[in-house]
Chain A
Amino acid sequence: MTVASDIPETESWFHKNQQKIAPWLFLAPGILFFAVYVIIPIFQSFNLSLYEWDGLGKAEYVGFSNYEQLYWEYVDRDAFFISLKNNVIWLFMYLLAIPAGLFIALFLNQTVRGIRIYKSLFFFPFVISQVVVGLVFSWFYNPSFGLLNTMLDWVNLGPVNVLGDENLVTYGIIIAGLWPQTAYCMILYLTGLNAVDPEQIEAGRLDGAKGVRMLWHIILPQLRPATFIAFVVTIIGALRSFDLVSIMTEGGPFGSSRVLAYYMFEVALSEYGFRMGYGAAIAVVLFMIMMCFIAYFLWSMYREEKGH
């Protein structure tokens, strides 16, 4: 893209200068807001993680002791590591939304009558707030009357108390999260499938490719942009998981479904008192984990930009 090169010689000095100043004037309000509410708070949190502070009194500088406490534990045994472990489980399990979304997209990519309505209804769970998804699924799992146990009962299984079982609870919450996330990935792939080059498919058919081979060698490479976005939103979504944990279990039973995002909130703003510095240290750890992914995403975008 060229900006200045095509401008005729007769261009006034002011006009040229205007083009240098204009972008900054357009950027100013956005940058101001973003700096005050997003960029500066990140640095403040880094700084705060070196202090002990109850949110009201004077903050006391404690160096890296908050980080040491993450290791030695403050609230209860292993709380930090359980949260970290659960975040890893979230990350891997949540990625199942991508193949599941692709599967549903392939299933729905037809032109029979009424298919548009089916597509919107399959997408529907994504539009509902996670709070409601959490409520809906905690009733779904309810051991005494939930739909899950009612259905298990038909085949003489159960009952299971998914949200009351330390070993199942995180998986139960993740499945609730997979519901809207799969819908999101589905819509990405449906849009991608729409744009797949029909000539390449025909060429593939002539070469005798079909089914899974066709999908793998001809369709998936063309769906790369959709897959990239699906990865970005799914990974970020997994690490941000907070609403469902908060609504469905409040981290329980016995803290076994905590994730870092929820644990941080718990130490900084709820029953365990207002340990802002300690909370900030947890947030910094989560931030560092996410930064690895964000850096990778930006790097991919950068290569893409240069390619143009």
Chain B
Amino acid sequence: MFPKPIEKQSAGAQFAYKSLLPVALLFWLAPLLAVALFSIKPDADFTAGNYWGVPSSFEGFTNYGQVFFNSDMPQYLLNSFMITIPTVIGAVALSSMTGFALGVYKFRSNIWIFFLFVAGNFVPFQILMVPVRDLTLSLGLYDTKAGLVLFHIAFQTGFCTLFMRNFIRALPYELIEAARVEGVSEIRIFWYVVLPLMKPALAALSVLIFTFIWNDYFWAIVLTQGPDSQPVTAGITSFNAQFRAAYHMMSAGSIVAALPPVAMFFLMQKHFIAGLTLGAVK
């Protein structure tokens, strides 16, 4: 293990390390803790200039209550879910097929199609912006959740294919060959042999895509405009305009907007990290 395990060092070093940990964490998360503190303060504290002191009263329930009952926030959150979940399903479904095709079959254009997906996944969004917006307009899907979902599914297929294909490559190929010798059709091999083995990849990819799409801002402002279809990342700006200079409200709103992927991360931590670090180890 590197660096040298702290248990093998002097008691002083161990003590120093253990006391440094929480201090370092406190500094690392300071900007966020500040927002959390703001979100439970009463309005009066800000007018009185008490920004960093102890809150004069605990107003967490009032502030978060306002966010949920006196703003468009619930609608934005709902929109976010209605955009994110279909995208996860669509992108994972498409890419388990493309990943299977590129991971299992050997044909001449295989690697080029694979590279096309990988390269497409890295292009700047701006090169797609005007044509995709036009396409969405002409499909009559501008300012709808469906318009966003279709684009997100298509774009995420790039990354998901990369992920799935590499995962499938690492599966024992003998299983597929054995099934073929038995005369099992290709579609059944996909469904009954490979797909069950892909469960960890499906889980990892789902949490990752959920986070990516939930946090998308660019496409939300390009393809939607109003509370009917905008997700929470775009909605937070209008929310902030509604509560201009009310820092306790804006802080509470931001925390609510950030929460679902955070919850997802803490619940599915193992899958999340496995997904992010695929390929980081040989």
Contact = CB atoms under 8 A, between A and B. Distances in A.
A112 B6 contact: yes
B111 interface: yes
B100 A290 contact: no
Given A40-B131, A147-B52, A188-B280, A3 B157 contact: no
Interface stretch (A70-78, A157-165, A298-306): A298-306
B5 interface: yes
B153 to A, nearest CB: 6
A163 to B, nearest CB: 14
A276 B131 CA distance: 10
Nearest to B18: A112
Contacts of B246: none
B243 interface: no
A127 B6 contact: no
Contacts of B35: 135-136, 139
Interface in A3-35: 3, 6-8, 15, 18-20, 22-24, 26-27, 29-31, 33-34
A150 B111 contact: no
Contacts of B79: none
Given A131-B217, A225-B282, A30 B21 contact: no
Given A23-B107, A26-B97, A136-B254, A41 B24 contact: no
A42 B129 contact: no
A268 B130 contact: yes
**Interface size grouping (class) on chain B:** 35 or more
A214 interface: yes
B254 A118 contact: no
A29 B115 CA distance: 17
Contacts of A125: 28-29, 32
Interface in B122-177: 122-135, 150-151, 153-155, 157-158, 161, 173, 177
A195 B130 CA distance: 44
B281 A38 contact: no
Interface in B1-24: 1-7, 14, 17-18, 21, 24
Contact of B154 (A38, A48, A130): A38
Contacts of A229: 277, 279-280
B265 interface: yes
Interface stretch (B59-67, B183-191, B197-205): B183-191
Contacts of A40: 131
Secondary structure call for the A interface: helix
Contact of B233 (A2, A131, A210): A131
Interface stretch (A60-68, A166-174, A278-286): A278-286
Given A38-B154, A139-B34, A184-B276, A219 B94 contact: no
A242 to B, nearest CB: 5
Given A1-B173, A33-B94, A136-B32, A127 B124 contact: no
Contact of B126 (A118, A265, A301): A265
A131 to B, nearest CB: 5
Contact of B261 (A127, A239, A283): A127
A64 B274 CA distance: 47
Contacts of A19: 105, 186
26 contacts: A6-B181, A15-B183, A19-B186, A30-B94, A30-B117, A37-B151, A37-B154, A45-B129, A48-B131, A110-B3, A112-B7, A122-B25, A127-B265, A128-B258, A129-B233, A137-B31, A139-B35, A188-B280, A195-B281, A229-B280, A242-B218, A246-B217, A283-B124, A283-B129, A284-B127, A302-B111
Interface of A: 1-3, 6-8, 15, 18-20, 22-24, 26-27, 29-31, 33-34, 36-42, 44-45, 48, 55, 106-107, 109-112, 115, 118, 120-125, 127-132, 135-137, 139-140, 145, 147, 150, 179, 184, 187-188, 191-196, 198, 201, 210, 214-215, 218-219, 225-226, 229, 232, 236, 239-240, 242-243, 246-247, 260-261, 264-265, 268-269, 276, 279-280, 282-284, 286-287, 290, 293-294, 297-298, 301-302, 305
Given A121-B28, A135-B35, 12 more contacts: A30-B95, A38-B154, A42-B128, A48-B131, A112-B18, A125-B32, A140-B30, A225-B282, A261-B124, A298-B115, A301-B118, A305-B111
Pick the 5 closest A-B CB pairs, nearest first.
A37-B154, A129-B215, A41-B131, A30-B98, A26-B101
